[in-house]
A = this chain, B = another copy of it.
Amino acid sequence: MTDRTTVQNAQLALLLEVTGTPKPGNVDRERDFTDLRFEHFMAGAVGARPGLALAAEQEPVGHAFERAVAGMADQSAGNTQFGALLLLAPLVAAASEDELTPAGADRVVQSTTVSDAGEFYRAFEHVDVAVDDPPEGMEPLDVRRGSEAIPAIEERGLTLFDIMSQSADGDGIAAEWAGEFRRTFDAAATVLADDGPVPDRASRVFVALLAEEVDTFVVTRNGPDAAAEVQRRAQAVLDGAEEPSELAEELVARDINPGTTADIVAGALFIALERGLVV
């Protein structure tokens, strides 16, 4: 068994996630986008650590997340691991209470406050994150307004859990918050039951998750047709009908990056490391 702390496991999960290859459409050990490269994820994982440490020290999850994002953004490529940190902040908090279970993580997110919601909005000031336009009437709560939206949040008394629950239909990370982190815990079990080097397991579980549901980040950036195609072709990889490396090359060339699925892999690797996954 390892002596790594919870925070070290969270940081290592971020590093192992980007190391897994091939992860079709993601930056991985073998692929970069022009302005979003492997080394930016290294710097993101280094910078995120103090925020993750706040989560482990039972600081409010929203504040820990905002600090993690601020540190992550201290590199030249902007958003690298925003969604992964949004999963890791509550998971680290749950782990530090010895409750890294679906119920334990659910308790953490259910007890978030209006102040946590404000910190979440503040985090959007550190990086550009691709998001959908808000539904009609919800413009005051557009995350792209950053801290300017805080009065509207306070007026409506929305907690961070409320915000995430409202976004669960269109955002795979919010769906994890609203649904006891089901896919993240399931993926952790898959990683633990697999064998071989950890980055290979990360690659395999990534493809399986991609085939299971549409990636909401692809929906937002490339549209529902592209997202449906990616899901279908990930299934073809599972069926042996398509080469994962070729799909990876094509998706990177088309700038289709299933980032939400990668974020879930990062969360799953953290849970697996906490449960004894050996690197």
Q: Which residues of A come within 8 Å of B, CB atoms?
A: 2-4, 8, 11-12, 15-16, 19, 29-30, 37-40, 42-43, 45-47, 49, 71, 74-76, 197-199, 278-279
* Chain B residues near A278 (CB-CB < 8 A): 76
B279 near A4 (CB under 8 angstroms)?
A: no
B47 near A4 (CB under 8 angstroms)?
A: yes
Is chain A's interface secondary structure helix, strand, loop, or mixed overall? helix
Residue from the list B11, B38, B47 in contact with A199, Cβ < 8 A: B38
Do A279 and B76 contact each other (CB < 8 Å), given the known contacts A12-B43, A46-B8? yes
* Chain B residues near A76 (CB-CB < 8 A): 278-279
A19 near B38 (CB under 8 angstroms)?
A: yes
B279 near A43 (CB under 8 angstroms)?
A: yes
* Chain B residues near A46 (CB-CB < 8 A): 4, 8, 11-12, 15
A38 near B29 (CB under 8 angstroms)?
A: yes
A39 near B74 (CB under 8 angstroms)?
A: no
CB nearest neighbor in B for A32: B197
CB nearest neighbor in B for A38: B19
Kindly name the residue among A12, A39, A278 whose own CB sees the greatest number of chain B CB atoms within 10 A: A39
Closest CB-CB distance, A268 to chain B, in whole Å? 15
Residue from the list B42, B71, B198 in contact with A19, Cβ < 8 A: B42
CB nearest neighbor in B for A198: B39
A-B contact pairs, 27 of them (CB 8 A): A2-B74, A2-B75, A3-B71, A4-B46, A4-B47, A8-B46, A8-B47, A12-B42, A12-B43, A12-B46, A15-B42, A15-B45, A15-B46, A16-B42, A19-B38, A19-B39, A30-B30, A37-B199, A38-B199, A39-B197, A39-B198, A39-B199, A39-B279, A40-B279, A42-B279, A43-B279, A76-B279
* Chain B residues near A38 (CB-CB < 8 A): 19, 29, 199
Closest CB-CB distance, A196 to chain B, in whole Å? 11
CB nearest neighbor in B for A70: B3
Q: How far is the CA of A43 from the CA of B3 in the complex (A)?
A: 12
Q: How far is the CA of A19 from the CA of B18 in the complex (A)?
A: 12
* Chain B residues near A39 (CB-CB < 8 A): 15-16, 19, 197-199, 279
* Chain B residues near A71 (CB-CB < 8 A): 3
* Chain B residues near A40 (CB-CB < 8 A): 279
